[in-house]
């Protein structure tokens, strides 16, 4: 049993009380079996859909409990530094309690998260280059105005609120053996682990960080902004509250890279119809990249901690996924630079069953005949065998064609 002296006053009663505070505001989010993942690994894998939570992420759990516990201390309003999900949760909770909310958000934060924060009544302010500068600005603002500072993760009331997710998992999943949880600052991981382990210490709890910013694993963090799909968990410093809780209650920590996160986001969208942000998808990423093995007996639950994805990111992810799956291909062809040659080539490609997405002429940087032009053609196909078939048909028709990844 973990060292309960490190609970810092957070116990099962505190988490249960937080759940009562959140009733009517916090959604009891669904758990759903993943047929795709279960088939891939030959065991039962369940998804906890916090991407369907109010404000699109788990953060509302801790925010609503924090503001309740503040009592009259919140009368001048609340202020925080956040990359987006905490901002939304706090703004929503502040609106619920009828108090002012200011959020310092760092440069480069998700546009959709910032927009949602404003829609809940949050006042968005410049938080500088990182979450650390945003938090520092929020603390200074609190001292200046008498507003209550609300830390995104390093707070006992926030951790207790996040722990309500653990209560739901034990109620909803029979034979729960393992839970995989995204790890940024550690509020969700520590609170959920504490809630579960105090009732069933045999459940294995695993936290997942993004490799580009994993201070809980490697002890150091990069300086400056961290460009990552998992921006919601790119937290550079472990918390004074959350670190000892994680050390006491969590069984294992692993990290995942950007490519595996991109893969996980698209597999969740395509196979489970779940729209999940990078930081929320790292648990699935850990399974797909073999960083974590599912439990051999009992059910493994993967927490999808948020679904606030910028729409502008999705076309690039979809193109990457379709190319990797062999359903999208880039062909290069040399054709005669004369009227009608392009139409003849495209007619052959189309007749072979490809959907032509984009065509561009390339004349520079290539060793072309003076009467030749290069063509780059993006096509949608049925698979890699279909691409090979199309190339063969084009060559038979007299065109010099190859597939390229450039």
**How many CB atoms lie under 10 A from the CB of residue 361?**
12
Strand order in the sheet with 101-105: 123-126, 101-105, 78-81, 148-149
Radius of gyration of the chain, Cα coordinates, nearest whole angstrom: 25
As a whole number of angstroms, the distance between CA 361 and CA 358 comes to: 10
Q: What is the mean pLDDT of residues 128-147?
A: 91
Q: What is the mean pLDDT of the chain?
A: 92
Check pLDDT > 50 for residue 294. Answer: yes
Least confident of 174-178, 276-280, 336-340: 336-340
Least confident of 41-55, 244-258, 355-369: 355-369
pLDDT band at 16 (very low <50, low <70, confident <90, very high): very high
Q: What is the pLDDT of residue 242?
A: 96
Q: Is 358 helix (H, G, I), strand (E, B) or coil?
A: strand
The reply to whether 108 falls in a domain is yes
Least confident of 5-19, 33-47, 194-208: 5-19
The reply to whether 12 falls in a domain is yes
Q: What is the pLDDT of residue 4?
A: 45
The reply to whether 321 falls in a domain is no
Q: Are residues 169 and 253 in the same domain?
A: yes
Check pLDDT > 80 for residue 6. Answer: no
Give the angle 227-240-94 at the CA atoms, nearest 5°: 75
pLDDT band at 365 (very low <50, low <70, confident <90, very high): low
Domain around 356: 326-403
Q: Are residues 238 and 347 in the same domain?
A: no
The reply to whether 248 falls in a domain is yes
Check pLDDT > 50 for residue 56. Answer: yes
Q: Are residues 206 and 280 in the same domain?
A: yes
pLDDT band at 5 (very low <50, low <70, confident <90, very high): very low
Q: Are residues 182 and 261 in the same domain?
A: yes
Check pLDDT > 80 for residue 250. Answer: yes
Q: What is the CATH number of the domain that holds 178?
A: 3.40.50.1100
Burial of 372 (0-12, 13-18, 19+ CB in 10 A): middle
Q: Are residues 77 and 8 in the same domain?
A: no
Q: What separation in angstroms does the CA of 250 have from each of 102, 122, 290?
A: 33, 34, 19
Check pLDDT > 90 for residue 362. Answer: no
Q: What is the pLDDT of residue 204?
A: 98
Q: What is the pLDDT of residues 58-69, one digit of tens each?
A: 999 999 999 999
Q: What is the mean pLDDT of residues 253-278?
A: 96
Q: Are residues 290 and 339 in the same domain?
A: no
Q: What is the pLDDT of residues 77-98, one digit of tens each?
A: 999 998 788 999 999 999 999 9
Q: What is the mean pLDDT of residues 159-169?
A: 98
Least confident of 136-140, 158-162, 234-238: 234-238
pLDDT band at 132 (very low <50, low <70, confident <90, very high): confident
Q: Are residues 40 and 185 in the same domain?
A: yes
The reply to whether 360 falls in a domain is yes
Length of the chain: 406
Q: Are residues 82 and 47 in the same domain?
A: no
Percent with pLDDT over 90 in the chain: 78
Q: Are residues 39 and 172 in the same domain?
A: yes
Q: What is the CATH number of the domain that holds 393?
A: 3.30.70.260
Residue 294 contacts residue 178 (beta carbons within 8 Å): yes
Number of structural domains in the chain: 3
Burial of 209 (0-12, 13-18, 19+ CB in 10 A): buried
Per DSSP bridges, beta strands 355-362 and 372-380 are: antiparallel
Q: Are residues 265 and 133 in the same domain?
A: no
The reply to whether 257 falls in a domain is yes
290 Cβ partners below 8 Å, 6+ apart? none
Residue ending a domain, among 116, 140, 156, is 156
Check pLDDT > 80 for residue 189. Answer: yes
Q: Is the dihedral of CA 116, 122, 128, 130 positive or negative?
A: negative
The reply to whether 333 falls in a domain is yes
Q: Is the dihedral of CA 76, 80, 84, 87 positive or negative?
A: negative
Residue ending a domain, among 294, 316, 338, is 316
Residue ending a domain, among 137, 156, 175, is 156
Q: Are residues 177 and 246 in the same domain?
A: yes
As a whole number of angstroms, the distance between CA 91 and CA 47 comes to: 27
Return the residue matching tokens 């062809």.
Answer: 333
The reply to whether 125 falls in a domain is yes
Q: What is the mean pLDDT of residues 154-179?
A: 97
Q: What is the pLDDT of residue 9?
A: 76
| Residue 331, beta-bridge partner list | 377, 403
Q: Are residues 129 and 246 in the same domain?
A: no
Q: What is the pLDDT of residue 178?
A: 98
């Amino acid at each position: 049993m973990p060292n309960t002296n490190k609970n810092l006053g957070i116990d099962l009663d505190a988490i249960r009380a937080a759940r009562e505070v959140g009733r009517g505001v916090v959604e009891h989010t669904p758990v759903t079996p993943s047929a795709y993942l279960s088939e891939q690994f030959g065991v039962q894998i369940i998804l906890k859909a916090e991407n369907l939570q109010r404000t699109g992420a788990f953060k509302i759990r801790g925010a609503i409990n924090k503001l309740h516990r503040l009592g009259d201390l919140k009368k001048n309003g609340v202020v925080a530094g956040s990359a987006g999900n905490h901002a939304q949760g706090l703004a929503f909770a502040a609106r619920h309690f009828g108090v002012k909310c200011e959020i310092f958000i760092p440069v480069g934060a998700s546009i959709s998260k910032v927009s949602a924060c404003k829609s809940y009544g949050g006042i968005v302010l410049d938080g500088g280059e990182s979450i650390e500068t945003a938090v520092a600005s929020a603390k200074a603002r609190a001292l200046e105005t008498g507003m209550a500072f609300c830390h995104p993760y390093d707070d006992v009331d926030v951790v207790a609120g996040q722990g309500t997710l653990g209560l739901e998992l034990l109620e909803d999943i029979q034979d729960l053996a393992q839970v995989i949880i995204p790890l940024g600052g550690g509020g969700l991981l520590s609170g959920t682990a504490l809630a579960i382990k105090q009732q069933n210490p045999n459940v294995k709890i695993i936290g997942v960080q993004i490799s580009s910013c994993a201070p809980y694993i490697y002890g150091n963090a990069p300086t400056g902004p961290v460009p990552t799909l998992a921006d919601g968990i790119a937290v550079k410093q472990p918390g004074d509250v959350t670190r000892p809780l994680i050390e006491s209650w969590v069984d294992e920590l692993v990290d995942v890279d950007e490519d595996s996160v991109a893969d996980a986001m698209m597999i969740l969208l395509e196979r489970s119809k779940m729209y999940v942000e990078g930081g929320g998808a790292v648990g699935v990423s850990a399974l797909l990249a073999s960083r974590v093995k599912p439990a051999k007996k009992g059910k493994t639950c993967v927490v999808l901690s948020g679904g606030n994805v910028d729409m502008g990111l999705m076309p690039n992810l979809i193109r990457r996924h379709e190319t990797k799956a062999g359903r999208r291909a880039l062909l290069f062809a040399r054709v005669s630079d004369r009227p009608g040659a392009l139409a003849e080539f495209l007619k052959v490609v189309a007749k072979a069953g490809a959907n032509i997405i984009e065509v561009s002429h390339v004349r520079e940087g290539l060793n072309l005949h003076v009467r030749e032009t290069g063509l780059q053609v993006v096509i949608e196909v049925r698979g890699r065998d279909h691409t090979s078939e199309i190339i063969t048909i084009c060559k038979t028709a007299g065109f010099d064609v190859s597939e390229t990844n450039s």
